[in-house]
A and B are shown apart, each in its own frame.
Chain A
């Protein structure tokens, strides 16, 4: 069985639908005529931190200590600005001041229409579909300050390869995301392990902040994001969303 997925490819500045089907348990396309992939989304990209139960458990004690003092009440959000957006197979530049990077694999909710004060019972009405996100950052232990310098480097947010319509995803709240570095399995992230499941997250975010068509809200990332360094190849796989592969660039000269 095949489905259509939405892409931006071959430097064309328009959305296109191409056919994809499941092979070897992963959604794939015939990529022979595809020379380059851009991010399939172009709005504002928001990340959610501490939305994975294991990640929260691991930090539980710290959350009651200085500087955090209390566990978070509202979703912990951040922005990946436009300079960070990149596509499938892009090289992620390794900055001069970083030896290692961390890869926070996530699922992005692609917003389908303006979403403000959404009720969680209607959350999926506002979602066009889903995509994979490789949210790269320079490792930072403290999440007290917004960490823009660590999160917002050029090319630090590969997205894609495509957007899968919500109708073609069996259960967005039960997705398995596997992360491989140079072929070795490093992490599994499950969307059934979220502190705020997708509908509640969308409700709590849009309570104070409108999301627009084309914006992306990442649902969170797993505990202990893998560390990567120069020339490592990161593969983020999910049966129904496909494979997002990116390479870390060379050590800058």
Chain B
């Protein structure tokens, strides 16, 4: 099942997807064009991974990390499907990052890899934009690069964990104005989803609604105002964002 959150006629609804229609929690069925899409979950703690794909790590001329490179993001940064993200005027390099987003389904502490999938509610797509001009070497990647307002599109919907047979073998693609610019597979993660849940829950408690953005493969290029950026993950869908 796919679930979403949307604003419609002045209210906010939970919704389920029926084909390309949204069935709102009040029973009404509407099309995706009629609603304002919101992030499918209201994120609790959000973890994001840097350098978690071998090819992207080498592209950035870094050695693969020995331990997951984790950073945190705040609630200010998330926007829904078909949203707009601002490119600041002084920026020369702003790139998308298509990422598998894992939503935690139940409280998790000291979870071994072998049981990690039991703690997942579902999956969605994140586009974790980076504004590289602002990169500084203190608590890097710093919040000014990775936690800007409205700079992490999330959605369009949450796909139940049970509906994704092998989350570690999904193709990710990004298209700018219809042209494919990024392609990779979740099987190339350095630290896979079970490893990340074991690692994080090994030193802190995870809660339902917490999010893990699992990193991006190679192929990140600059985007400009006016570009339509679609991040796509096999079995989940396509998340659209426009740069303004």
Q: C-beta contact mask, B63-88 vs A, less than 8 Å → 1, else 0?
A: 00001011111111100000000000
Say yes or no: A68-B44 contact (C-beta < 8 A), given A79-B74, A83-B205. Answer: no
Q: C-beta contact mask, A73-115 vs B, less than 8 Å → 1, else 0?
A: 1101111011110000000000101000000000000000000
Residues of the A chain whose Cβ atoms lie less than 8 Å from the Cβ of B139: 49, 76-78, 143-147
Contact partner of A146 (CB less than 8 A), chosen from B70, B74, B204, B205, is B70
Give A62 Cβ to nearest chain B Cβ, in Å.
11
Say yes or no: A209-B204 contact (C-beta < 8 A), given A74-B134, A145-B139. Answer: no
B204 and A73 within 8 A (CB): no
Contact partner of B45 (CB less than 8 A), chosen from A68, A77, A81, A147, is A81
A188 close to B (CB within 8 Å): no
| Contact stretch, chosen from A148-156, A160-168, A195-203 | A148-156
Contact partner of B75 (CB less than 8 A), chosen from A44, A73, A148, is A44
Give B213 Cβ to nearest chain A Cβ, in Å.
13
The range of chain B's interface size is 20 to 34
Residues of the A chain whose Cβ atoms lie less than 8 Å from the Cβ of B206: 83
- Kindly report which residue of chain B lies nearest to residue A80, judged by CB atoms: B72
A154 and B205 within 8 A (CB): yes
> How far apart are the CA atoms of A49 and B140 in the complex, in Å?
13
Residues of the A chain whose Cβ atoms lie less than 8 Å from the Cβ of B205: 83, 154
A208 and B74 within 8 A (CB): no
> How far apart are the CA atoms of A82 and B147 in the complex, in Å?
17
Label chain B's interface by main secondary structure. Answer: loop
A116 and B149 within 8 A (CB): yes
Say yes or no: A148-B44 contact (C-beta < 8 A), given A78-B72, A82-B207. Answer: no
- Kindly report which residue of chain B lies nearest to residue A77, judged by CB atoms: B143
Residues of the A chain whose Cβ atoms lie less than 8 Å from the Cβ of B134: 74, 208
> How far apart are the CA atoms of A72 and B204 in the complex, in Å?
29
* Total contacts A-B at CB 8 Å: 102
- Kindly report which residue of chain A lies nearest to residue B137, judged by CB atoms: A68
Say yes or no: A95-B137 contact (C-beta < 8 A), given A148-B72, A212-B76. Answer: no
> How far apart are the CA atoms of A33 and B117 in the complex, in Å?
45
Q: C-beta contact mask, A46-87 vs B, less than 8 Å → 1, else 0?
A: 100110000000000000000111101110111101111000
User: Which residues from 122 to 148 on chain B have a C-beta closer than 8 Å to any C-beta of chain A?
Assistant: 134, 136-144, 147-148
B204 and A154 within 8 A (CB): yes
A210 close to B (CB within 8 Å): yes
Residues of the B chain whose Cβ atoms lie less than 8 Å from the Cβ of A79: 72-74, 143
Residues of the B chain whose Cβ atoms lie less than 8 Å from the Cβ of A76: 136, 138-139, 142
Residues of the A chain whose Cβ atoms lie less than 8 Å from the Cβ of B149: 116, 208-210
A145 and B140 within 8 A (CB): yes
A144 and B203 within 8 A (CB): no
Residues of the B chain whose Cβ atoms lie less than 8 Å from the Cβ of A68: 137-138
Give A52 Cβ to nearest chain B Cβ, in Å.
14
- Kindly report which residue of chain A lies nearest to residue B131, judged by CB atoms: A208
B203 and A95 within 8 A (CB): yes
B47 close to A (CB within 8 Å): yes
Say yes or no: A209-B147 contact (C-beta < 8 A), given A44-B74, A81-B45, A146-B70. Answer: yes
Residues of the B chain whose Cβ atoms lie less than 8 Å from the Cβ of A49: 138-139
> How far apart are the CA atoms of A143 and B205 in the complex, in Å?
23
Residues of the A chain whose Cβ atoms lie less than 8 Å from the Cβ of B73: 79
User: Which residues from 113 to 154 on chain A have a C-beta closer than 8 Å to any C-beta of chain B?
Assistant: 116, 143-149, 152-154
Say yes or no: A81-B72 contact (C-beta < 8 A), given A153-B203, A208-B144. Answer: yes
Give A129 Cβ to nearest chain B Cβ, in Å.
21
Give A214 Cβ to nearest chain B Cβ, in Å.
11
A148 and B138 within 8 A (CB): no
Residues of the B chain whose Cβ atoms lie less than 8 Å from the Cβ of A211: 76
> How far apart are the CA atoms of A73 and B144 in the complex, in Å?
11
- Kindly report which residue of chain B lies nearest to residue A73, judged by CB atoms: B136
Give A87 Cβ to nearest chain B Cβ, in Å.
17
Q: C-beta contact mask, B197-220 vs A, less than 8 Å → 1, else 0?
A: 000000111110000000000000
> How far apart are the CA atoms of A116 and B74 in the complex, in Å?
14
Pull 18 A–B residue pairs with CB atoms less than 8 Å apart, ordered by A.
A46-B74, A67-B137, A68-B138, A69-B137, A72-B138, A74-B142, A76-B136, A76-B139, A79-B73, A82-B44, A83-B45, A83-B205, A83-B206, A83-B207, A116-B149, A143-B139, A212-B75, A212-B76
Interface residues of B (CB under 8 A from A): 44-45, 47, 67, 69-77, 134, 136-144, 147-149, 203-207
- Closest 7 CB pairs between A and B? A81-B45, A79-B72, A146-B71, A76-B138, A210-B76, A77-B143, A148-B70
